[in-house]
A and B are shown apart, each in its own frame.
Chain A
Amino acid sequence: MSAGRLLVSALRDPGSLADPDWSALIAAARAEQLLGSLAERLRNHALPRKTTQILAAARRESAHQRTRALWEAEMARRALAPLGVPVVLLKGTAFHAANLAAAAGRSVGDLDILVPRERMAQVEAALLAAGWERMKEADGYDDLYYRRWMHELPPLIHRDRDRMIDVHHTILPPTARPTPDARALIADSVALESGLRILAPADMVIHAAAHLFADGDLAGGLRNLWDIDRLLRQFDSAAFRAQLAARADLHQLRRSTARALRLAARLYGSPIDRGLAGRDRIADRLFEARLLARNGWGQPRRPLLRFAFYVRSHWLRMPPAMLARHLWVKARR
């Protein structure tokens, strides 16, 4: 069994673990940034003493990450409060801020926020004034590339706290074929007590699916899919299923959402709406193989398959001529 497969079955059904290769499982979980989630899943299971100790350390680490993520969100809130802009937290920080089931052990790297496109310039200025700095050289190729073609500002990093913020105005690059309804994402977002906001449940699942299948090359995909599983389990109801289908159509992301549901069910046994998910496709197996391509040393496997998904991610993001120019500039560095 591949270590990727071992990790998935440990997350899906911790009771099924009979004397696994713990070193391999732990290395694979770390490589996929899922050790904290695994530690939460195995919380009440009898484990070897050493494993217990390693997982306790992982819990300590994710508790620290949670504190840091929430503090960073609060810092952004303070910096942006005078603007009166709706600030929507995305991904891991959103799960933690709203105490969703997906937050259990969830690692968080950068802070991702969504704001209305027409307020981006003000948001950037306010963040720069509050101590965030540009990472990309102003007006360099990367900087201009982001500003012209991406769904987010070039990343900013805080000079004292060394934490990165990604400011999005929508959830897919404008060059991608689907055009999500960014206004609807913000209009239907949910306010938290702090004044910060999170996406509506269906939009959260759709964003995770878009991030996984329409934007990225599936790097970190097992964690992304685990988020989707947790969200589907927490929100599952007839009303939610109807919402999910309607919003997937609204955001032109029905295909990605359907694929996310099928793969979540396949790997993690998530409860899904078969009407929305559709029948299994041959290509699903390729996605599954790509997601599980990790060995017990934490190394990526299947370089050709990975490369194919890398090319695919760019193909989805840009028209061919632009893609050729972009890859040419990147390759010459």
Chain B
Amino acid sequence: MKHSLTLRIGPVGFRIGSAWRGPIDALAALYKGYPAPEDGICDFTVRLEPEKPWRRWLRPSVAIQGDYVLPDAAPMALAHGLLAAEMGMNLQMALGQKSWLLLHAASVEKDGRALILTGESGAGKSTLAALLGERGWRLMGDEFALLDPESGALHPFPRAVSLKNGAIRVMEGEVDSARFGPRLEGTPKGAIRHLRPNAQALARMDVPASPALILFPRFGEAAAARAVGPAEIFMRLTQASTNYVALGQAGFDALTRLVATPAAAIDYPDTASAVDLVETLWAEAA
């Protein structure tokens, strides 16, 4: 590939190649300070290629390719090349990760104990995790949490946090502007801006934590919390995992162990009350 970059996020090595320089430069800036893959060996390859040969120059159109692809994924504008690279890395994890039980969840850590936040897109898990990550917690990741099927430990996967629409302003008020990527307008999910995790999150990306509390946040309702039992946790987490079935017995065992963790569903009207709720429930769980 003409332009490329390798980097390691938690235990996973990535190699991203591109027909254009732009997406690679944007990615390199966003992931400044990330380590190289172990022994230079990459788990996954992502390629950003023109949809058709002439679409490299003429109305450039970025197709996301790689080890694993979705056959009907629509190509993107070159201006959204950074997003394409991010989506490409997500795809490799979602479709190809077989070493850990993959939970579509954000996670943060305190005192070696992990808080898992999981819910549908728009539930606010990225914003909450990013915010907690600046307020005394360590950010482990905002998109995927990796559960070790043998030890039951949660591994960090601290990618750049993908902030959408209103969440961008919330975090811009909180964090130094040097840690932000470019603001991408008009993506399928509206405006998106990526945030590089802080130095602590980077420095400790190889340190796992044991799950201590699971929260299922929901944005847009009056503040409330409701305890969630093991059966519901199990159901919700099988839906939140892309490789639960593929891991077979190991996946079942890992999830069965995880459902013993205290859990609650929380509603919140704004981020301030969400943070309060989280801190209260965390104190109760401890």
Contacts and interface: CB of A to CB of B under 8 A. Distances in A.
B1 A60 contact: no
A57 B248 contact: no
A312 to B, nearest CB: 22
B45 A27 contact: yes
Contact of A298 (B47, B247, B248, B250): B47
A63 to B, nearest CB: 7
A56 B68 CA distance: 18
Nearest to A303: B53
A305 B193 CA distance: 43
A143 to B, nearest CB: 21
B13 A50 contact: yes
B67 A30 contact: yes
A50 B37 CA distance: 9
Contacts of B67: 27, 30-31, 298
Interface in B21-45: 37-43, 45
Nearest to A58: B98
B38 A50 contact: yes
A53 interface: yes
A76 B99 CA distance: 31
Contact of B246 (A30, A48, A64, A298): A64
A23 B45 contact: yes
A64 B97 CA distance: 13
Given A30-B67, A56-B99, A50 B41 contact: yes
B248 A67 contact: yes
A49 B40 CA distance: 11
Interface in B189-211: none
Which of B6, B41, B248: most chain A CB closer than 10 A?
A: B41
B164 interface: no
Contacts of B98: 57-58, 60-61
A297 B246 contact: no
B39 A49 contact: yes
Nearest to A63: B248
B60 interface: no
Contacts of B248: 60, 63-64, 67
Interface in A10-28: 22-23, 26-27
Nearest to A65: B246
B17 interface: yes
Contacts of A237: none
Contact of B99 (A57, A63, A67): A57
Nearest to A295: B1
A70 B269 CA distance: 50
B45 A61 contact: no
Given A23-B42, A58-B98, A297 B247 contact: no
B47 A48 contact: no
Contacts of A63: 248
Contacts of B47: 297-299
A51 interface: yes
A4 B67 CA distance: 15
Contact of B43 (A48, A54, A299): A54
Contacts of A49: 38-39
Given A27-B67, A50-B13, A57-B99, A297 B45 contact: yes
Interface string A60-99: 1101100100000000000000000000000000000000
A84 to B, nearest CB: 34
B19 to A, nearest CB: 11
Nearest to B149: A60
B41 A297 contact: no
B42 A297 contact: no
A30 B42 CA distance: 13
A58 B41 CA distance: 15
Nearest to A48: B39
Contacts of A23: 6, 13, 15, 37, 40-42, 45
Contacts of B81: none
A212 B88 CA distance: 32
A27 B247 CA distance: 22
A297 B39 contact: no
A248 B248 CA distance: 41
Contacts of B13: 23, 50
Contacts of A27: 15, 45, 67
A51 B99 CA distance: 12
Contacts of B97: 57
Which of A49, A56, A298: most chain B CB closer than 10 A?
A: A298
Interface in A169-222: none
Contacts of B41: 22-23, 26, 48, 50-51, 54
Interface of A: 22-23, 26-27, 30-31, 48-51, 53-54, 56-58, 60-61, 63-64, 67, 297-299
24 contacts: A22-B41, A23-B15, A26-B41, A26-B42, A48-B38, A49-B39, A50-B13, A50-B38, A50-B43, A51-B41, A57-B98, A58-B98, A60-B98, A60-B246, A60-B248, A60-B250, A61-B98, A61-B246, A64-B246, A297-B1, A297-B17, A298-B45, A298-B67, A299-B65
Interface of B: 1, 6, 13, 15, 17, 37-43, 45, 47, 49, 65-68, 97-99, 245-248, 250
Given A50-B41, A298-B66, 9 more contacts: A22-B41, A23-B42, A23-B45, A48-B41, A50-B38, A57-B99, A58-B98, A60-B248, A64-B247
CB-CB nearest 4 A-B residue pairs: A57-B98, A50-B41, A23-B42, A22-B41
